[in-house]
């Protein structure tokens, strides 16, 4: 069964090679949508395309981050590409099937065989634990061990679905929950490792330099990210984080409902620590 991850990227050179390597070893093909990257992202994608299992298209960048247009393009691709399943994917993510399945493809095939048509992912967020840490240019998946579960709402990441030959809707939920006629959600979540930023400087570049589409801001999208201020970042105490052990099992209890790095600073405080 052919499974294709739909991966939109813009200036993701820190993540892209690691993300593509993981997906290919998991038995997943990848269609990369390059949104006008100005760093090495497009070159990395083309190199993987030469190896096989990856296709690349260019998607015009019009000066602002247009998430709605990207999601609509993914909906179009899901209607056009010949695949049994699709995954709505980002470059800073690593997705896994839970035990006993060894690969993502194996897990999705088992879900398909049971008659389910969509998969939710339990999100676990990995970040540095303080401003002194940096994982840029390193194997962040192997080295970052501190995480917290993140679940602001039920069914927060329904991002994999079976191709039933019907239109799917990613846009209405901002990409969080795919909906379509015949959706039957598998009751057990898979795992989504989310490596949101690799250093404080990277976080500041990622959100501090992004220009959001005014129409999407008017819809209520990107609120905290659009309001991001570097001076407002407060790292929590180390005990806030859970630690991934060598067995690779995640503790999903007591999930956070908001990201600590997007919380506005207390009145009168303006220095990151």
CB atoms within 10 A of CB 223: 10
| Mean pLDDT, range 141-151, rounded to an integer | 97
pLDDT, tens digit, 9 for 90 and up, residues 113-133: 999 999 999 999 999 999 999
| 171 contacts 235 by C-beta, under 8 angstroms | no
| 54 contacts 81 by C-beta, under 8 angstroms | no
75, pLDDT greater than 90: yes
- Measure the N-to-C terminal CA separation of the chain; round to a whole number of Å: 49
What is the chain's mean pLDDT, rounded?
94
What is the pLDDT confidence band of residue 273, given thresholds at 50, 70 and 90? very low
More confident residue, 148 or 268: 148
SS3 123: strand
What is the pLDDT confidence band of residue 140, given thresholds at 50, 70 and 90? very high
Share of the chain above pLDDT 70, in %: 96
Contacts of 110 (CB under 8 A, 6+ apart): 101
What is the C-alpha to C-alpha distance for residues 67 and 82, in angstroms, rounded to an integer? 24
For residue 5, which phi and psi values (nearest 5 degrees)?
-90, 130
What is the pLDDT confidence band of residue 264, given thresholds at 50, 70 and 90? low
CB atoms within 10 A of CB 107: 25
The CB-side HSE value for 71 (13 A sphere, CA atoms) comes to 18
**CA-to-CA separations, 17 to 14, 98, 190, in angstroms, rounded:** 8, 23, 22
């Amino acid at each position: 069964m052919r499974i294709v991850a739909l991966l939109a990227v813009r200036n993701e050179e820190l993540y892209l090679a690691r993300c593509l390597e993981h997906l290919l070893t998991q038995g997943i093909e990848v269609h990369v949508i390059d949104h006008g990257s100005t760093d090495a992202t497009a070159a990395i994608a083309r190199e993987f395309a030469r190896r096989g299992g990856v296709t690349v298209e260019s998607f015009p960048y019009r000066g602002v981050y247009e998430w709605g247009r990207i999601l609509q393009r993914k909906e179009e691709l899901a209607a056009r590409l010949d695949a049994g399943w699709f995954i709505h994917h980002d470059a800073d993510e690593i997705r896994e099937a839970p035990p006993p399945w060894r690969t993502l493809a194996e897990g999705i095939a088992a879900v398909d065989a049971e008659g389910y048509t969509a998969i939710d992912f339990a999100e676990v967020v990995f970040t540095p634990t303080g401003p002194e840490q940096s994982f840029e240019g390193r194997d962040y998946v192997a080295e970052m061990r501190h995480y917290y579960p993140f679940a602001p709402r039920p069914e927060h990441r329904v991002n994999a679905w079976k191709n039933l030959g019907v239109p799917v809707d990613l846009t209405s939920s901002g990409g969080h929950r795919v909906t379509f006629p015949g959706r039957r959600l598998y009751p057990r979540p898979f795992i989504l490792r989310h490596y949101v930023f690799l250093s404080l400087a990277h976080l500041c570049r990622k959100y501090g330099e992004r220009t959001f589409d005014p129409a999407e801001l008017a819809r209520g999208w990107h609120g905290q990210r659009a309001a991001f201020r570097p001076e407002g970042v407060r790292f929590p105490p180390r005990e806030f984080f859970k630690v991934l052990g060598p067995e690779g099992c995640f503790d999903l209890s007591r999930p956070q409902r908001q990201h600590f790095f997007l919380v506005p600073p207390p009145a009168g405080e303006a220095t990151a620590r």
